[in-house]
Structure 1
Amino acid sequence: MIEQGEMLADIPLFVAAVEAGGFAPAAVRLNLSRSAVGKAVARLEARLGAKLLHRTTRTIALTEDGQVFFEHCRRGLGELQAGRAMLDAGRREVSGRLRVSMPVLFGRQCVAPVLIRLASAHPRLELDLNFSDRLVDLLEDGFDLVLRNGPLQPWPGLMVRRVAHQHMRVCAAPSYLDAMGAPRVLADLERHQAILYGRAGRVLGWRFPGEAKPATETTPPSRLRFDDLGVIRDAAVAGHGLAWLPCWLIRPELLAGRLVTVLEDLPSHVFDTHALWPQTAHLPLRVRLALDALASELPEATSPVSLCGDAPEPGRRAEGAAATEEVRS
């Protein structure tokens, strides 16, 4: 055990020597003698039974074994430093400004309540929330976090974490269904009127996943097209046609009976919500807490209810919170 402790103590000296390009500059950086650094590397080689460095009077170079060992040591030291930083941050009160950008309607209804509760629990935390459906430049615009719905394009220099799933359902007002009847299969949509989402001259089709085949996309007949989901919902409540909308948006209308879901035998289209933030060695505590709060609470806020076709299974919230991931984009 003592030998293992001594070996761990020698590793930072070995890493410093490689990064500095020699024993002498590493010794200056560490405020040690050149021989102390050299002896630490020699002890490591003896304990490992492998040559780590090629040495000349002026330079050092990693051997093949040394390169492998160095990469693992550097990553390990980085993890230790990150762990220490998180512990230090945990002893401090959360403070500072948190700048977050999010889609307008989804942000207002689902994201903002989570972050406002977080701010209420931490009086020194400042919130600066931006509601926009445009693709903001996270780095250039200076945001700590950005929430995005749907597929992501590669975005170098950013980290990504999935924080929720969203389910789409077809719905209509009871008055519309009384007059037109309820569609039973996809082919029935051709005899109905739909309220569609369109932006910049492009109309979004309705997607229905297949169990063992590619998803089916259809664009039902329509004379109403809007670029605002809230307006589409309101038009559906008023009886103007069928609408294809996320469950979180129509939940109050479903519970109140102002809307009814149809085509419930078809699986719902599901897409992800991601949080993105700048890649950094030490994530600020306020950003980490916001990510954890969103990953914990958004799955429940976006999950379908029984009236929306798919009732949440027991433990669904815990599953949603656990099924998050962090990846470099």
Structure 2
Amino acid sequence: MDQNHFLGIREFVAIAQTGSFTAAAEMLGITGSALSKRIMRLETRLGSKLLHRTTRRVSLSSQGEVYLASCLRAIATLEDAENYLDAGQQEPVGRVHINLPAAFGRRHVLPILLDLSARHEGLDLSITFSERMVDLIGNGIDLAVRIGRLTDNADLVARQLGEQHLLICGSPAYIARKGMPHAKEDLLRHNCLIDWRRGARHAWHLRNAAGIGEAFDIPVRHEVGDGEAILAATLAGRGLAQLPTWLAHQHLQSGELIPVLHELSGETMPIHVVWPRTHYMHPRMRTIVDTLLRAAQAPGSRWRWDAPPGAA
């Protein structure tokens, strides 16, 4: 590529960030007229008006906003590469914005990330929790862990970490009071606890006579928008819930929860780590992805829990 393609980029970014030709010229150590000429050459080469200039202020055109975003991404990539080299090609440095599913993220991903950041002083984390499928690119998220089947998206890269296994369970007190269900139709006489989702069908996936999973409509007593809260309601004897084994296994082992209809339940959902597709993967990103993959593949990992429900 002709190196002239890079002329004017530094000057354009300086103006966009300072909002002033004068301030940008002072920052770059050049004259205002020289700065204006470089911007004119850049706009001529691109065939687009990047800046609107008045006597009082400088603003970006719509094309300028798009070009600035591309310039900043390119600059960030170069800075990351330089930081990587300065760190001896070993230490991941910089900030990573991460989105995690609430209950699973707090229990099984956050401890790994905190341990990783303790071992790498230059690695900074910004972590959010949400049960929604967040738009990574639109929200500036570098990496996410997602539970559920992914849709095809050419802008994203995904690596599977494991599987989430679901089973239906209830407390001994609740089952003593309402009876043990022996067929899926028996669920119609029970209080069912579900995750709250706007407009969603109130159904659990159960296997039919052919062993194929299908949605079965259930009567809903309580809707709760958090996995930990659903677990608490189930332990309190408020009803039956379809819970992931990584959340319920300890209570199943202790007898605080009893699995029901396990021959019909057992739906699985994949767990992925997902990030925006780029030509260059930052060392800090690679470190986090590799660490999560190792944790998922470790013996005894709850991310690949696949024992029979009754043996939880």
Settle same-fold status: TM greater than 0.5. Answer: yes
CA contact (8 A) 1:198 1:204 kept: no
SS at match of 1:244: strand
Letter in 2 for 1:177: I
- Select the residue among 198, 210, 214 that pairs with 2:196: 198
SS at match of 2:133: coil
2:134 aligned partner? 136
Letter in 1 for 2:216: T
SS at match of 1:202: coil
In structure 2, what is the Cα distance between the partners aligned to 1:209 and 1:295? 30
CA contact (8 A) 1:261 1:307 kept: no
2:223 aligned partner? 225
Q: How does 1:1-329 map to 2 (within 5 A)?
A: 91-209=89-207, 212=210, 214-266=212-264, 268-298=266-296, 300-304=301-305, 308-309=309-310
1:210 CA displacement: 5.4
Q: Deviations over 1:75-94 (max 9, x none)?
A: xxxxxxxxxx9x97883322
CA contact (8 A) 1:261 1:308 kept: yes
Could you say if the C-alpha distance between residues 214 and 90 of structure 1 is closer, same or farther in structure 2, counting changes exceeding 3 Å? farther
Q: Deviations over 1:147-183 (max 9, x none)?
A: 2211222333221111121000101001011122222
- Which of these two proteins has the greater Rg computed from alpha carbons? 1
Report % sequence identity: 33
Q: Deviations over 1:57-89 (max 9, x none)?
A: xxxxxxxxxxxxxxxxxxxxxxxxxxxx9x978
Could you say if the C-alpha distance between residues 267 and 137 of structure 1 is closer, same or farther in structure 2, counting changes exceeding 3 Å? closer
CA contact (8 A) 1:172 1:241 kept: yes
Could you say if the C-alpha distance between residues 152 and 307 of structure 1 is closer, same or farther in structure 2, counting changes exceeding 3 Å? closer
TM-score norm. by structure 2 comes to 0.65
User: What are the ranges of 5 or more consecutive residues in structure 1 without an aligned counterpart?
Assistant: 1-19, 26-84, 312-329
1:307 CA displacement: 7.4
1:274 CA displacement: 1.5
SS at match of 1:292: helix
Q: Deviations over 1:194-232 (max 9, x none)?
A: 112232142441112459553122122232222222222
Q: Deviations over 1:126-152 (max 9, x none)?
A: 111111233322123222202221122
Could you say if the C-alpha distance between residues 176 and 278 of structure 1 is closer, same or farther in structure 2, counting changes exceeding 3 Å? same
In structure 1, what is the Cα distance between the partners aligned to 2:251 and 2:93? 38
CA contact (8 A) 1:196 1:203 kept: no
In structure 2, what is the Cα distance between the partners aligned to 1:104 and 1:140? 20
SS at match of 1:141: coil
Could you say if the C-alpha distance between residues 275 and 207 of structure 1 is closer, same or farther in structure 2, counting changes exceeding 3 Å? same
CA contact (8 A) 1:103 1:132 kept: yes
1:28 aligned partner? none
In structure 1, what is the Cα distance between the partners aligned to 2:96 and 2:140? 10
In structure 1, what is the Cα distance between the partners aligned to 2:159 and 2:252? 30
Could you say if the C-alpha distance between residues 112 and 220 of structure 1 is closer, same or farther in structure 2, counting changes exceeding 3 Å? same
Q: Deviations over 1:266-319 (max 9, x none)?
A: 3510001122212122211111121122122236133437573466xxxxxxxx
In structure 2, what is the Cα distance between the partners aligned to 1:233 and 1:267? 17
1:192 CA displacement: 2.0
Letter in 2 for 1:296: R
2:73 aligned partner? none
Q: Deviations over 1:23-67 (max 9, x none)?
A: xx9xxxxxxxxxxxxxxxxxxxxxxxxxxxxxxxxxxxxxxxxxx
Aligned residues: 229
SS at match of 1:264: coil
Could you say if the C-alpha distance between residues 212 and 105 of structure 1 is closer, same or farther in structure 2, counting changes exceeding 3 Å? same
In structure 2, what is the Cα distance between the partners aligned to 1:289 and 1:209? 39
